[in-house]
Structure 1
Amino acid sequence: MSQSPAMKAKEPSLTKHEVQSSNFRKTPIQILHEYGTKTGSLPVYVMEKAEGEDHLPSFVFSVKIGDVCCTGQGSSKKAAKHLAAEAALKVLQTDAITVGNMPVKSESNGVVAETNSNPNSVGKLQELALHRGWRLPEYTVLMEAGPPHKREFTITCRLESLTEKAVGNSKKAAKKAAAEKIVAQLQSLSGCSEFTWTPKPSVRFENLRNSLAEKISLLRRNPLSIPNSDYIQMILEVAKEQGFEVTYFDIDELTVNGQYQCLVELSTHPVIVCHGTGISCGNAHNDAAHSALQYIKIMASIK
């Protein structure tokens, strides 16, 4: 049913002329602010997440304007806000991103924003986490391999206690593939297309410090230097008792000494990730489990 001119007037938006005249000098943040001024609903930005090392930080910002809520992820706060604003502009269908093949100034630093108009698996997970109050999905580059013209990236995606690994010819492709695996896992655990799965409460270091349970008490008292110990089984017993999960990730590349290597991830809060090496894949797992147990022993003994 077509709308009357009066009804259409209630939905102000940026005109193409306004976009063209501002396109050479205004950023998505500025354009979205102008749109908010027009509609009487100014955009509100919230930093949802900050992680990564000092030399490689990652920030996630959300922006809400009216009924539209979008997120952006970048290597600086400014870049993440730009991407969130850019995503909101796309949802609002203002045609403000590209006019006459001239893009609006954007500082994405190579990180793609997700909109909630037709989100892919990465966007689905991000929205689900925000909606349910979970920690936002975490993506970790495990390995980069191959010649410069044919790189291959291995990335893990972690959502609460769920973890998946995927490989792609770009970080974006590997990230998307890992997110798709998490979405599939969520549907499998839920038993239907609707996400009904609920994560277990996070096991925090405070829980480990205050626990008087048998396995964690034995870990505090006994040394971790007995030869031929099965540390894989030991950490599984601690994990079952304390309520966290243990996941191993094999690294295809051998060490310079020709040994196998892997990572072990514990779904505690914060997450524990330890590295292990050995003359076989199993030995590498046992070494990683040993390192993780040593870390837990230290954290569980601090008063």
Structure 2
Amino acid sequence: MSDHLIPEPLSQAQNQTNPIGSLQELAMRNGWRLPKYSLAQETGPPHKREFTVTCRIEAFVETGMGTSKKLAKRNAAEKLLEKFHSFSQDNIAISLRNEQNHNLGCTWDILRNSSGKKITVLKISSLSIPNTDYIQLLEEIAEEQGFNTKYLNIEELSENGQFQSLVELSTNPIIVCHGTGISWSNAHNDSAHSALQYLKIMAGRK
């Protein structure tokens, strides 16, 4: 892969008019996979929906929010463009190399067939014990199974005024789970709980 990863900066006007297109062009020029957008959450009453979308390109992820999926997608693309132009080429190259090293990652087959103690306990755990440190539990499984976790705070509060966060697992395919709470740490714990529930279902499938 070329070391010249980031081309000449995109103009502000171009970013503002079509950030989704600009991000796609950036990916194509650098030989990256195209941006992948995922709906992480949909909240609010029917007449006032709020959408949260994650945008991933190679090793980089951003979250956008909006009153429609299109606006949330656009917002996520804008944030990712801003991130690229604030990074140095060295930072981007290092992140891409780390991503390539994890490309195979922890697949569902590996999880299902794993004899690791942590994942075996997870398969039979109820995940409903009050005051459990789900963040720690998730980290222990991640270490055992060879994937990484990353928490992303969502700036906006939820409809009922709670903090929101996402947790991304560098499994293959990647998992993104949402959580809420009365503080960032509570939101992180809730998103870790959601991720553990998902892992438990997938790892338990035959």
Q: What is the total number of aligned residue pairs between the two structures?
A: 174
Q: How far apart, CA to CA, are the structure 1 residues paired with 2:202 and 2:150?
A: 20
Q: How far apart, CA to CA, are the structure 1 residues paired with 2:81 and 2:188?
A: 25
Higher strand share: 1
- The structural deviation recorded for 1:154 is 7.6
Within-5 A mapping of 1:112-261? 122-130=24-32, 135-140=33-38, 156-165=54-63, 172=74, 174-182=76-84, 184=87, 187-188=90-91, 190=93, 198-199=99-100, 200=102, 201-261=104-164
Structure 1 residues 203, 128: CA separation in 2 closer, same or farther (over 3 Å shift)?
farther
Q: How far apart, CA to CA, are the structure 2 residues paired with 1:294 and 1:280?
A: 21
Gap regions ≥5 residues in structure 2:
1-16, 43-50
- The structural deviation recorded for 1:257 is 2.9
Gap regions ≥5 residues in structure 1:
1-109, 115-119, 145-152
Higher mean C-alpha displacement, 135-144 vs 265-274: 135-144
Give deviations 1:143-192, integer Å, cap 9, x for gaps. 99xxxxxxxx9864323443245789x7657514404525737731536x
User: Which has the larger Rg?
Assistant: 1
Amino acid at match of 1:214: K
Q: How far apart, CA to CA, are the structure 1 residues paired with 2:88 and 2:63?
A: 12
Within-5 A mapping of 1:87-126? 122-126=24-28
Question: Are the counterparts in 1 of residues 152 and 167 from structure 2 also a CA contact under 8 Å?
Answer: yes
Secondary structure (helix, strand or coil) at the match of 1:265 reads: strand
Amino acid at match of 1:215: K
Give deviations 1:37-64, integer Å, cap 9, x for gaps. xxxxxxxxxxxxxxxxxxxxxxxxxxxx
Q: How far apart, CA to CA, are the structure 1 residues paired with 2:38 and 2:158?
A: 20
- The structural deviation recorded for 1:142 is 6.6
- The structural deviation recorded for 1:249 is 2.5
TM-score with structure 2 setting the length: 0.65
Indicate yes or no: 2:169 matched with 1:266: yes
Structure 1 residues 259, 154: CA separation in 2 closer, same or farther (over 3 Å shift)?
closer
Matched-pair identity in %: 46
Q: Per chain length, whose mean CA-contact separation is higher, i.e. which structure has more relative contact order (CA < 8 Å, sep 6+)?
A: 2
Q: How far apart, CA to CA, are the structure 1 residues paired with 2:161 and 2:120?
A: 37
Higher mean C-alpha displacement, 270-279 vs 158-167: 158-167
| 1:299 aligned residue | 202
- The structural deviation recorded for 1:202 is 3.2
CA RMSD, 1 decimal: 3.7
Amino acid at match of 1:159: I
- The structural deviation recorded for 1:233 is 1.2
Structure 1 residues 182, 270: CA separation in 2 closer, same or farther (over 3 Å shift)?
farther
